[in-house]
Amino acid sequence: MAEVRIEGEGHVTSLSAPFDCFSDVCSANFDAPQDVLAVPASGSRFVGWSAPECGSTEICSLEATPLIATFEQLPPEVPEGSWMGGDLHVHTDHSSDGSLLRQTFGDAARGNVSVADQLGEAARMGLDFLSLTDHRTHDQHYDPLWDSASLLIIPGEEANGRPHSTVHGAVDMLTQAAVQSDKGELARLQQSIWDAHSQNAVWVSAHPEKDLMHDDGTLKVLADAVGVDLVEGWNNAKKPDVAIDYSENRWNAGYRFGVAGASDNHFREVWLTHGPGKPTTRTLAGKPSQRGLLHALKQGRTHVGHRADGPFVTLEADFERQGYTATAGDEVLVPAGSKGTLRLRLEGAQGHKVLVYRSPGRSVGPIAELRPKDAFEVHTIPVESRGEPEWFRVEIRTLLGLLRGLSSPVFVGETPAQPPVDWLPAESKGTDDARWVYGARGTYSGFADAARSGDRLHLVAEAHGSTGSKIVYRHFTAARAIQSEVVSGSDENARFAKVAAQGERVVVVWQDSYSQIPLRTRIRMNLSEDGGETWGEPVTVRQVEGRSERPALVLGAGGEPLIAWQEIQADSAYDVWFLDLSVSSEPENMSGTGKTIAHPHDRDSRSARYPASLWPSLAVSGSGGVAIAWQDNRTDPDPLWTGATGVGEGTAPDNWQIMVKRRDANGKTWGEPFSAGMDEEADQHPSLAFDNQQHLMLAWNRKPLKSSGASWSLGTARIDGDNNIALLSAGHDHGGHQQRPRLARADGGVVQMVWYEGGSDDWRWKVSRSLFEAGEWTAAQRLNAPGNNSWPVTTGDDIVFTSSRHAAALQRDPTHMIFSVR
């Protein structure tokens, strides 16, 4: 029996279960993947059923009656929000070339561009947001100076070797793997874009005239990568006219992205002309929040001006008299010959010339040129759609031709434009027999976690909206699935949920950024005492004047929540904290003992030492013993830096180690922490589980001390009761790098490991699994199914992961859903 319901006042916001139909607003679960494809994307409205037998209270069975749900597309709405100005490409001394002295004399020279320097200069320039995009590192975010009382700060990185790309909203360093001999450079780049999108992060092609074009102006093969969200149409360190030509070429070929600006500032000595906000990227965000800003950037709703208070234009479009429902970055789908109007709102453009271009662009000249005389002017331009994919955009220039403003295009066509992708292998036709468990087309759901208790599979996941994110819970048995529950309550920026279950008790923890400016995050919890049927109100576990984040969770022998997280406060390093609510309401610092912290001195901004302890993992044994692991860089010669005065070249990335600490079964005594990773490698992202012999199993990501062009692999170890470490050979190299291993006890008592990797023939990320049996890991089994499948977790025999398999397009489609397989 299967029925259909649509959640939320008749609008398709997600697809869910149980298989009941109530009134005229219905919700659905689909076991077969093809059924999900039959459901319209978010933005549709349920109209009714084709079969009158579906009454207001009776169960509607598809076996008994062939029901057909009818939908209609909701009319487009006028974009709402406020324009925020910022910079998406700024460096600090966490980059190896982050200040003039070091770029001139080598990485070991002194630095004079701290995180606080760039944030302070951005605030003085009147910016609203800033993303610090240091080269091939995420370490700037672990600096206690990464904090601002006036700016919305966005996680960022200038990723990869070549081509350079800025990535915004990723949860850690986005590594570019070594080139796979059977795939080449384009595959490596494409996989990196997909990896960012699996996190709902924004991918920006940096200075394309340098990295994606040859000197003669022809394009490199890397320009064919699909899914780029923005392109730097104006990098102050490069040639904007060439970058504009590149962008027009790609738009004409069917690529769809917006434009970004970039000061690409490394040196305080050039702040006057090339400092943060010169140029400024403005974006139409629905809310001044991280998610609101990232959502707007993904839509390409941007305008680039030469500085925050410079000339500004908004470009809007009205076709078929529906109102100005499209703005720069949007794609309008209308029949050929549709009448339309472009509306330009100009601010501060007096004395300049405003040029309106239509595809193919500058090669045929503007379709209109305006000479505004007043500070505020509005102009309209009638147009008619050609039917073929096309675009309209605006530039502002001085009378001498200097660029002062640049809008993203409004794209128009009868159907969504698609670039030629003959070079891209077709998606795998295999199947993993996974069932859809949460999410909807046109939306992003990800970062799932799962726990099994009896016959129930409990799941949590992030559901991203246009301005925030929430934590959604569901559970499944063989007979039914419970309706989705937003366990994070009114928290608007809830992320990184973990779930644990024992008997009828189900506990969920997550982080919530209760303040965005300054950025402040706390640890929150909700629990159910009836197997997930009903939930209470969220409670705060930890809130300080700083950031408490990335929680880990297990339940003790008595069902008590055991919670760990990473935390930073002013002038401190990141530490891992642990809380056993059955013992105390006060947490313990697990990683602080033995750390050496050095505050920066005026002569060298890189002199600070703030060793970071990050990404905690927890496990509890059958006898009640507890283990905690985290990644730690205290043994690196210059933690969080790639080199500093008096140290030499240092390491890039840091020589991260996996630290482990154990508590005895009586719940009172913690042992000393010990290192369980590999020497002279970057060991990160640990996961723990106890096997059926009460040995502690550990898995992590390992990587050579090389910031790009080096692949992640898997590290595993078995640790006995005396903390003797036996390093194990995972033997799971499938020709692509393996990421984010997770461990859990399988139903048979042995430990199962899952991860995702990039070695498949169709280039997409795939989930793989292995069991630890008879003292070794079994041969890896790849779940070779369509789509990019990533961020897996395991509980019992179940694997839960994020997949893009039902995305309708290769570009501008955020669709990621949650699936499970046994």
Per the structure block, which two tokens stand in for 592?
């602080």
pLDDT reported for residue 707: 84
- Spatial strand order in the sheet of 376-384: 326-327, 312-319, 339-347, 376-384
Summarize the confidence of residues 790-803 as an average pLDDT. Answer: 97
Burial level of 163, CB count in 10 A (0-12/13-18/19+)? buried
Summarize the confidence of residues 364-374 as an average pLDDT. Answer: 98
Judge contact between 788 and 194, C-beta under 8 A. Answer: yes
Per the structure block, which two tokens stand in for 762?
């169709």
Judge contact between 97 and 86, C-beta under 8 A. Answer: no
pLDDT reported for residue 145: 97
pLDDT reported for residue 140: 97
DSSP-assigned letter for residue 601: B
d(CA 86, CA 170) in angstroms, rounded, equals 18
pLDDT reported for residue 729: 84
pLDDT reported for residue 2: 34
Summarize the confidence of residues 88-104 as an average pLDDT. Answer: 92
pLDDT tens, residue by residue, 582-619: 888 899 999 999 999 999 988 899 999 999 999 999 99
pLDDT at 341 over 60: yes
pLDDT at 483 over 80: no
CATH class (in words) of the domain with range 459-821: mainly beta
Helix H, strand E, coil C: the string for 303-323 is: EEECCCCCCEEEEEEEECCCC
Summarize the confidence of residues 89-105 as an average pLDDT. Answer: 91
pLDDT tens, residue by residue, 156-186: 999 988 899 999 999 999 977 888 888 989 9
pLDDT bucket at 36, cuts 50 / 70 / 90: very low
Amino acid at 500: A
Higher pLDDT residue, 43 or 154? 154
The CATH topology of domain 77-307 is TIM Barrel (3.20.20)
pLDDT tens, residue by residue, 241-259: 999 999 999 999 999 999 9
pLDDT at 476 over 50: yes
Summarize the confidence of residues 450-469 as an average pLDDT. Answer: 96
Three-state secondary structure call for residue 187: helix
Domain-wise residue ranges, the chain? 21-73, 77-307, 311-415, 459-821
pLDDT reported for residue 31: 34
Three-state secondary structure call for residue 395: strand
pLDDT bucket at 402, cuts 50 / 70 / 90: very high
d(CA 228, CA 211) in angstroms, rounded, equals 14
d(CA 371, CA 357) in angstroms, rounded, equals 15
Is the bond preceding 279 in cis, omega lying within 30 degrees of 0?
Answer: yes
- In the chain, what percentage of residues exceed pLDDT 70? 89
Judge contact between 712 and 739, C-beta under 8 A. Answer: yes
d(CA 578, CA 659) in angstroms, rounded, equals 14
pLDDT reported for residue 6: 37
Higher pLDDT residue, 109 or 65? 109
pLDDT tens, residue by residue, 425-444: 999 999 999 988 888 778 89
d(CA 59, CA 56) in angstroms, rounded, equals 9
pLDDT bucket at 33, cuts 50 / 70 / 90: very low
For residue 598, give every residue at least 6 positions away whose Cβ sits within 8 Å of its Cβ, in sequence order, or none. Answer: 607, 608, 609
Summarize the confidence of residues 41-68 as an average pLDDT. Answer: 45
pLDDT at 56 over 50: no
pLDDT at 43 over 70: no
pLDDT reported for residue 646: 62
pLDDT reported for residue 64: 41
pLDDT reported for residue 65: 40
The CATH topology of domain 311-415 is Immunoglobulin-like (2.60.40)
Summarize the confidence of residues 321-348 as an average pLDDT. Answer: 96
Please report where in the chains the tokens 């106890």 appear, as a residue: 690
Summarize the confidence of residues 737-756 as an average pLDDT. Answer: 95
Per the structure block, which two tokens stand in for 381?
């331009």
What DSSP element (H or E) covers 368? strand 368-370
pLDDT bucket at 666, cuts 50 / 70 / 90: confident
- How much is the pTM? 0.93
